[in-house]
Amino acid sequence: MYARFKAIGLAMIVAGFVFVGVGGFTYVKTSEGATSLEAFSTAQAVELTYNDAGQLIDRGETAIADEILKLLTDDWGYPVVRSDLDPNDPLINTATEYMYEMAAIAYHTLTSTQTVTVADHTDYRDQHFMPGDYEVAVAGRYYAEFDRGSPTDGPARTQAWSPLALSLMANLGVGSVTASTLQMGLGIAALAAALGGTLVLLGAGLVWIGRRSPSS
């Protein structure tokens, strides 16, 4: 029986060192990714804006920033990490900051009004559109919610949800996912290392018990 304890203990020690190695490798690769993301964020040099009191603002107003956060948390259901919104570190380089900036672009798009010019008299769904300029409120509508066949809604959709706005949001989304994935990587590295260390300790204990065999 003591020999079995010793054999199992040695196997646990080997497995433990494997897990520690996996944890170390994961940590190194995650750190490399974090360094790359930080360099990318620094190169872009996009920063959030805070007032003298350390409050987040948008276009000089805290009320707009609050509405953006409301869109992010209430409408999108994103779990904002308040500590990531640091006035002493305004550079956008965390998942929350990337998501906030994405929400800022979406908020200003959703609340915008687009000027659309109808060149010719057009009848559409029992409506008469005479030539001239029309003010079309986006009114909280996303790209797919517009009536693209309408002589006013169609162009307004293209103007509001422009390729620039959509590409910026996509870019910020990638940044947010990357930052979140890197955080998960650190957690996995710590978990693997902790499991490996536990196996090594337990294995060492079994080896010690095995060495206390009466035959030894």
Domain assignment present for 150 = yes
> What's the rounded mean pLDDT across residues 103-109?
97
- Percent of the chain surpassing pLDDT 70: 97
**197 pLDDT more than 80:** yes
Average pLDDT along the chain: 91
Alpha-carbon distances of 205 from 2, 67, 197, 216, rounded to whole Å: 12, 58, 12, 17
**Number of structural domains found in the chain:** 1
Start-to-end CA span in the chain (Å) = 13
Domain assignment present for 153 = yes
CA dihedral 155, 161, 166, 168 (to 10 degrees): 120
Range name among 2-11, 44-53, 115-124, 182-191 with the lowest pLDDT average: 2-11
Domain assignment present for 20 = yes
Domain assignment present for 165 = yes
Domain assignment present for 66 = yes
Domain limits at 67?
2-211
Rounded distance, CA 187 to CA 180, Å?
A: 11
CB-based contact 193:23 (threshold 8 Å) = yes
Domain assignment present for 184 = yes
pTM for the structure as a whole: 0.80
**213 pLDDT more than 80:** no
All residues at 6 or more sequence positions from 31 whose CB lies less than 8 Å from its CB, including other chains:
none
Domain assignment present for 137 = yes
For residue 73, the model assigns a pLDDT of 96
Rounded distance, CA 8 to CA 96, Å?
A: 46
Rounded distance, CA 151 to CA 118, Å?
A: 7
For residue 147, the model assigns a pLDDT of 94
Helix, strand or coil for residue 129?
A: strand
Residue 15: pLDDT band with limits 50, 70, 90 = very high
Rounded distance, CA 23 to CA 192, Å?
A: 5
Domain assignment present for 216 = no
**1 pLDDT more than 80:** no
> What's the rounded mean pLDDT across residues 73-83?
94
